[in-house]
Amino acid sequence: MEWLEKFNKVFESKIRLGLMSVLVVNDSLSFNELKELLQLTDGNLASHLKALEEIKYIEFQKQFNGRKPLTTYKATEDGHKAFTEHLQVLENMIKQNL
Amino acid sequence: MNPNQDSLHTLNEIRDLMERSSKFLSLSGLSGVFAGIFALIGAGAAYVRFKTDWLTEILAPLGTYQGHSREDVIDFLFVDGLCVLVSSLAVGIILTVRRGRKKGLTVWNGSSKRLLIAMLIPLATGGIFALAMLHYGFIWLVFPVTLLFYGLALVNASRFTYPEVFYMGISEIGIGCIALFLTGYSLIFWAIGFGMLHIVYGLTMYNRYEREKLPSGELPGGRRSGGKSGLAIVLLVLASGSVCLAQVRMPSDSTASKARKWYDKETIYLRNGNSFVKNNVVYAGQKALRNEFMVSPEGLGLYLKSRRTRSIGLIISLAGSAGSVISLLSGNRDHLKTFFWISVGTGLVGSGFTMAANNQRDQAVWIRNRDAMLFLEANQ
């Protein structure tokens, strides 16, 4: 089972995979936009974002929108690469099992 | 769970999320239709206001023309265009917001912002350019320029919404380019570009994404996106709408509905040559047709007569064309004139016979269908 070894553990969670896929196609998204897209609670989203951040798949930027803090997230180069590889693995898996 | 199914499901979810996050998919197709209708009304208003003098005014670039003053034309066109723009935008926004709510998506988000910015940059540039041209009096160029910049805006914005928008943008640019050189028809091109194209696009999108399912047999042209089918689609929509209404009004179990069912089942109509349609099935062949006419001796007689008339007409026109071919080949100049008139004459007589044959055939089918209804009572 070669494909199992390549299977990226980080993306085992649907939420993290969803977060990554959204950040890959968009330049940058704010915390609130992510929350709305994935229909998550603040705490849940924050913990998953933190997990992705720790392995440097995404990076964030804090700025102020008037008085309100605005955090925007971005996928890093590593994140892009890891995500594409993971998609490839998924695809291969489907092909092999067909 | 089956890993295969699971990953397929995951991939689908990823795709859906990517689309939802990066593209604005609440754009209502109907708003396109309304924008097109408003544009047609605006173009019609401009035409009615200035009629033909308006075109001469436009075509006289140095303004030697008296009548409506240049300022008049500019002011009217400006107000007219603004009205069209505002009303289309208003209806478009209302419909889009409603559709977004129905789909459970927020309308004002990152993707709609990006779509708006992508559209606004070329549109604003084009708008300022058009205003500058109005300022310097190049009225006849304003129409193609608005088309061109609108097309560019659509092409630019198509990355953030449905891919069909790209083709619409290309078509607008094409029409704008043609209109650049046919300045006398700029209003017509403008009406085609902003009116017809919007309606065609709107109906296409509405059929493709918004309507749940096409009822069978309705709108065979709805999936085509070609520019030419626009009018046909509109007419078809109207026609199918009225057919639906008619069907709704018909009580389900009355004599009228029985008669109607019987009519649908038993009557025929002819199609090119020897084929005919009965109960939505196409049949072909002389023999089958003759069998259909067996219920009505009178109809059969008339039908045979129409065939005879048609043959006579065919022979006459064939003889005429054979004569003209021979005269052309013979190279004899004296005969040429005679043969020319003979071929024209035979053509006319031949088409006269064909017309008579068509009348007889229509009548024959009508009599046959009437006689077919006679068996309604007996077979119930």
Domain that includes residue B284, residue range = 255-379
CB contact (8 A) between residue B109 and residue A90: no
Residues B110, A26: C-beta atoms closer than 8 Å: yes
Q: Are residues B164 and B65 in the same domain?
A: yes
The answer to whether B16 contacts chain A (CB < 8 Å) is no
Phi and psi of B282, rounded to 5°? -90, 125
ipTM for this model: 0.73
| Model confidence band, residue B332 (pLDDT cutoffs 50, 70, 90) | low
From chain B, pick out residues whose CB is under 8 angstroms from the CB of A25.
Answer: 18, 21-22
Contact between A50 and A10 (Cβ < 8 Å):
no
In this structure, the number of other CB atoms found within 10 A of the CB of residue B47 comes to: 15
A54 to chain B, minimum CA–CA distance in Å? 22
Give per-residue pLDDT as tens, A12-27: 788 888 888 888 888 7
Query: Based on the domain organization, do B207 and B286 belong to the same domain?
Result: no
Question: Contacts of residue B20 in chain A, CB cutoff 8 Å?
Answer: 37
User: Is B13 in the A-facing interface, judged by CB distances under 8 Å?
Assistant: yes
Task: For CA atoms B296, B301, B306, B311, give the dihedral sign.
Answer: positive
Cβ neighbors of B11 (< 8 A, separation 6 or more) are A87, A90, A91, A94
* CA distance linking residue B243 with residue B12, whole number of Å: 40
Domain count of the fold of chain B: 2
Whether the Cβ atoms of residue B151 and residue B171 lie closer than 8 Å to each other: yes
Are residues B198 and B272 located together in one domain of the fold? no
Q: B34-82 pLDDT, tens per residue? A: 888 988 888 888 777 766 555 555 555 444 444 556 677 777 878 888 8
Beta sheet of B275-278, edge-to-edge order: B268-271, B275-278, B281-283
| B362 and B277, same domain (yes or no) | yes
Tokens representing B342? 């003979």
Residue B238, domain member (yes or no): no
Residues 6+ apart with CB under 8 A from B353: B309, B310, B312, B313, B314, B316
Task: Determine the average pLDDT of the residues in B21-29.
Answer: 77
Residue B121 maps to a domain: yes
A35 CA to chain B: closest CA distance, Å?
11
Q: Which two tokens stand for residue A75?
A: 């996928």
The pLDDT score that the predictor gives to residue B250 is 41
Which residues in B lie closer than 8 A to residue A36 (C-beta atoms)?
Answer: 106, 109
Q: Which of B149, B180, B211 is the last residue of a domain?
A: B211
Residues in CB range of B70: below 8 A, 6 or more apart: B57, B63, B137, B139
The answer to whether residue B227 sits within a structural domain is no
B198 and B262 housed in the same domain? no
**How far is residue B193's CA from residue B186's CA, in Å, rounded to a whole number?**
10
Most confident of B100-104, B287-291, B364-368: B364-368
Q: What DSSP element (H or E) covers B268?
A: strand B268-271
Q: How far apart are CA A94 and CA A79, in angstroms?
A: 23
Query: Is residue B232 domain-resident?
Result: no
Domains of chain A, each with CATH number or no CATH = 12-97 (1.10.10.10)
Nearest CA in chain A to B108: A33
B61 lies in the same domain as B187? yes
Q: How far is A20 from chain B (nearest CA, A)?
A: 9
Enumerate residues 6+ apart whose C-beta is below 8 A from B139: B57, B58, B70, B73, B74, B77, B133
For residues B266 and B364, membership in a common domain is answered with yes
Which of B211, B246, B265 is a domain's end point? B211
